[in-house]
């Protein structure tokens, strides 16, 4: 009987590797060519609410040029000069189009005084009122309303903006307080129902706001806000109330 012979052959991988490298090389060359030919065609904006598209378009971003020719830092700086713009970022799309991502400042109070009204954010930046875009925030007294973009000044500005920022983060406190002022006793607020005076003092606002929310849930819900005249939250171990 004749023996069957088996033959094991080896496939030369070099032609396949060479073909793959050739295709990769073409892709790289095409990529470089596409990148070299890329031009800025359109500019889009995202993330804006208080700042209108028309205001944003006042910042001149040239089209018809390569994106690398743009001075991105200068463009960002000009957007961030607008009072409501906290941060701006430039994003170049594969098409060459530009998207400007806007992060806006959020009002935490409405500063009132001398016939003028402006919002402020938690950094104390004064923000202009925008027609049709109102925000439900407490009124703030005791400061001069100056020009939009200015910063709240004075040694009391730090504690006030700290309080307002923390207030914005606490839904119950934010829903129950309608007015805030700086006095000789520090932060004094009024409830939006019956105008009960809440005394928070000059520090430790996170703890005192938590105490107010606990007091509101346990005592006010039971006795009624109308029974209170003032509530002093400055003490660690107790809450001092003055009732009607």
Q: What is the CATH number of the domain that holds 199?
A: 3.40.50.11690
Q: Are residues 114 and 223 in the same domain?
A: yes
- pLDDT, tens only, 115-135: 678 999 999 999 999 989 989
Predicted local distance difference test score (pLDDT) of residue 174 = 92
- pLDDT, tens only, 150-186: 888 878 889 999 999 999 999 999 999 999 999 999 9
pLDDT at 11 over 80: no
pLDDT at 25 over 90: no
Q: Are residues 192 and 230 in the same domain?
A: yes
- Structural domains counted in the chain: 2
| Locus of tokens 């003032």 | 230
**Mean of all residue pLDDT scores within the chain:** 84
Last residue of one domain, picked from the residues 104, 120, 148: 104
Last residue of one domain, picked from the residues 104, 119, 135: 104
Higher pLDDT, 85 or 4: 85
Q: Are residues 51 and 150 in the same domain?
A: no
Inside any domain, residue 65: yes
**Highest-scoring range by mean pLDDT, 19-28, 87-96, 145-154, 213-222:** 213-222
Q: Are residues 160 and 234 in the same domain?
A: yes
Q: Are residues 88 and 182 in the same domain?
A: no
Confidence of residue 198 (pLDDT cuts 50, 70, 90): very high
Tokens of 84: 């409501």
Lowest mean pLDDT, pick from 84-93, 153-162, 210-219: 153-162
Q: What average pLDDT score do residues 102-124 get?
A: 89
CA distances from 113 to 143, 198, 235 (A): 7, 21, 31
Confidence of residue 27 (pLDDT cuts 50, 70, 90): very low
Boundaries of domain holding 145:
109-243
Inside any domain, residue 25: no
Inside any domain, residue 137: yes
């Amino acid at each position: 009987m004749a023996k069957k012979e088996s033959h094991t052959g080896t496939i030369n991988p070099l032609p396949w590797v060479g073909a793959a490298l050739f295709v990769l090389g073409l892709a790289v060359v095409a990529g470089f060519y596409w990148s070299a030919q890329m031009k800025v065609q359109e500019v889009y904006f995202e993330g804006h609410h208080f700042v209108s598209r028309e205001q944003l378009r006042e910042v001149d971003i040239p089209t018809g040029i390569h994106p690398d020719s743009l001075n991105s830092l200068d463009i960002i700086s000009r957007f961030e000069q607008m009072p409501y713009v906290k941060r701006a970022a430039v994003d170049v799309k594969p098409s060459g189009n530009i998207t400007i991502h806007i992060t806006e400042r959020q009002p935490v109070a409405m500063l009132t005084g001398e016939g003028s009204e402006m919002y402020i954010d938690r950094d104390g930046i004064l923000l202009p009122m925008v027609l049709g875009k109102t925000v439900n925030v407490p009124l703030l007294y005791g400061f001069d309303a100056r020009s939009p973009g200015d910063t709240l000044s004075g040694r009391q500005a730090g504690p006030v903006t700290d309080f307002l920022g923390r207030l914005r983060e606490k839904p119950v406190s934010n829903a129950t307080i309608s007015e805030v002022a700086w006095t000789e006793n520090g932060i004094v607020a009024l409830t939006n129902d019956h105008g009960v005076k809440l005394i928070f003092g000059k520090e430790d606002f996170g703890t005192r706001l938590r105490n107010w929310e606990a007091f509101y849930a346990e005592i006010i819900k039971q006795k009624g806000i109308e029974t209170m005249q003032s509530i002093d939250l400055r003490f660690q171990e107790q809450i001092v109330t003055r009732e009607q």
